[in-house]
């Protein structure tokens, strides 16, 4: 059950439509590419790399942050996950906390607090932790157990660089953990009880088993396809936003100079002009597709010009988390609809599209 404003958008048939006095919505494949290519993203439109500590983020420190995050994610994927009971509870929040615990809990205090959910939700606590991190590094620490992302803070050469490194630690960990939790939760939902059952059970038991086990092993290899199909039907980055200006006028008669433009991968990914059986969840459609992002009318990570810098980290981490959830027989609990037996749950209006449900492991 989508939030009413999302449902309104899903009900639109036009591919270019007015949303309000100053916003035009677009789900037309070619027009989306043209809008994205018309001008680079403004620094104020960025999320992770919007200005911090009173200055723009220099390009080299932005690339260093992404490289550090990449190291931390790859190291995390290789370490054993925390106990699966951490996945119990309301999703996607349970998964966000679980990922933070898995990837960043080795950072010394107060750095690890930067990414703790209870803290990030409170601006006042965030400011206190920021100040505490500003007077870090922990003297005498040998760097043991510290993430590469935290090392960016410790090795900053001046106050401004340090302030920016703190902001980027917070934003990068939040974007990663929130995005991967949303993607994995959406995948678990779309797989449904039957899909999850097919892939459930400890990996070790499967491998040694007979034909059924072999089938499951092969199916497990298709988790990547499950994620690409989830990114089509329930893309966490469901709307991209551009503030108006000269760059977009002339691309379409509906778009005036003062209009902001909202691009909707969510709608484009479901349009029958672009997809066969658009509303069916069919991971098979990605089988043997070497580079899904080259598929027309598909842009879960943006288009050339503003493509996501972390896409190579997001899918492997989500795949690992999905495996942990399936290995531990994570079950989705939602109240049954009184009139029909289908499971229903909410998709609220948030910047990241994510299905809400309660989960129980080992059921």
Binding site for ligand HEM (CB under 6 A): 36, 41, 46, 48-49, 69, 172, 175-176, 179-180, 183, 236-237, 240, 300-302, 306, 308-310, 314
Q: Which is nearer to ligand HEM, 133 or 176 (CB)?
A: 176
- The answer to whether residues 271 and 297 touch, using CB atoms and an 8 Å cutoff, is yes
Instruction: Supply the minimum distance, in Å, between the C-beta of residue 220 and ligand HEM.
Output: 21
Residue identified by tokens 């404003």 is 5
Sheet of strand 260-263, all strands in order from the earlier edge strand to the far edge:
16-20, 23-26, 260-263, 240-242
Report the SS3 class of residue 50.
coil
Nearer to ligand HEM, 166 or 206 (CB): 166
Shortest separation between residue 155's beta carbon and ligand HEM, angstroms: 19
User: With 0-12 CB in 10 A as exposed, 13-18 as middle and 19+ as buried, what is 29?
Assistant: middle
Closest distance of CB 237 from ligand HEM, Å:
4
Shortest Å distance, C-beta 56 to ligand HEM: 11
**Structure-token pair, residue 289:** 């597709």
Q: Could you give the angle at which helices 93-104 and 311-327 cross, rounded to 10 degrees?
A: 110
Helix (H) or strand (E) holding 90: strand 89-91
| Min dist. Cβ of residue 232 to ligand HEM (A) | 12
What is the spatial distance between Cα 115 and Cα 57, in angstroms, rounded to a whole number?
Answer: 20
Q: Which is nearer to ligand HEM, 250 or 305 (CB)?
A: 305
Instruction: Give the gyration radius of the chain's Cα atoms.
Output: 21
- Tell me the closest approach of the beta carbon of residue 75 to ligand HEM, in angstroms: 15
Report which DSSP code applies to 272. Answer: T
C-beta of 41 vs 77, nearer to ligand HEM: 41
Integer Cα distance of 3 and 347 in angstroms:
6
Tell me the closest approach of the beta carbon of residue 336 to ligand HEM, in angstroms.
Answer: 30
Contact 8, 17 (CB under 8 A): no
Contact partners, residue 163, CB within 8 Å, separation at least 6? 52, 53, 54, 134
Which DSSP category does 277 fall into?
S
- Rounded to a whole number of angstroms, the minimum distance from the CB of residue 194 to ligand HEM is 25
| 3-class state of residue 41 by DSSP | coil
DSSP letter for 45, please.
G
Give 113 or 306: the residue with its C-beta nearer to ligand HEM: 306
Q: Which helix (H) or strand (E) holds 105?
A: none
Of the pair 191, 262, the CB lying nearest ligand HEM is at 262
């Amino acid at each position: 059950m989508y939030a009413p404003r999302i449902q309104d958008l899903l009900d639109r048939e036009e591919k270019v439509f007015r949303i309000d006095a100053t916003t035009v919505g677009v789900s037309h494949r070619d027009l989306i590419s043209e809008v994205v290519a018309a001008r680079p993203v403004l620094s104020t439109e960025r999320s992770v790399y919007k200005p911090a500590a009173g200055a723009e983020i220099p390009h080299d420190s932005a690339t260093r942050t992404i490289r550090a995050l990449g190291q931390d994610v790859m190291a995390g994927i290789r370490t054993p996950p925390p106990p699966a009971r951490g996945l119990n509870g309301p999703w996607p929040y349970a998964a966000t906390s679980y990922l933070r615990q898995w990837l960043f809990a080795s950072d010394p205090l107060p750095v690890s607090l930067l990414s703790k959910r209870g803290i990030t939700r409170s601006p006042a606590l965030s400011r206190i932790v920021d100040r505490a991190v500003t007077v870090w590094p922990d003297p005498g620490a040998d760097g043991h157990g510290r993430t590469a992302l935290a090392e960016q803070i410790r090795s900053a050469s001046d106050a401004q660089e340090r302030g920016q490194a703190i902001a980027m630690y917070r934003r990068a960990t939040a974007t990663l953990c929130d995005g991967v939790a949303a993607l994995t939760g959406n995948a678990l939902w779309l797989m449904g009880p039957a899909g999850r059952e097919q892939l459930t059970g400890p990996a070790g038991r499967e491998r040694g088993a007979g034909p059924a086990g072999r089938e499951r092993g092969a199916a497990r290899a298709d988790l990547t396809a499950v994620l690409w199909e989830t990114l089509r039907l329930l893309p966490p980055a469901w709307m991209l936003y551009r503030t108006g200006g000269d760059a977009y006028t002339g691309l379409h008669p509906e778009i005036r100079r003062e209009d902001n433009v909202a691009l909707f991968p969510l709608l484009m990914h479901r349009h029958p002009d672009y997809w066969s059986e658009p509303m069916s969840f069919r991971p098979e459609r990605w089988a043997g597709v070497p580079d899904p992002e080259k598929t027309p009318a598909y842009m879960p990570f943006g288009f050339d010009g503003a493509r996501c810098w972390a896409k190579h980290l997001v899918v492997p981490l989500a795949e690992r988390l999905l495996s942990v959830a399936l290995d531990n027989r994570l079950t989705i609990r939602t109240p049954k609809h009184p009139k029909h037996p289908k499971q229903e749950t909410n998709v609220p209006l948030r910047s990241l599209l994510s299905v809400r449900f309660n989960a129980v492991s080992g059921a």
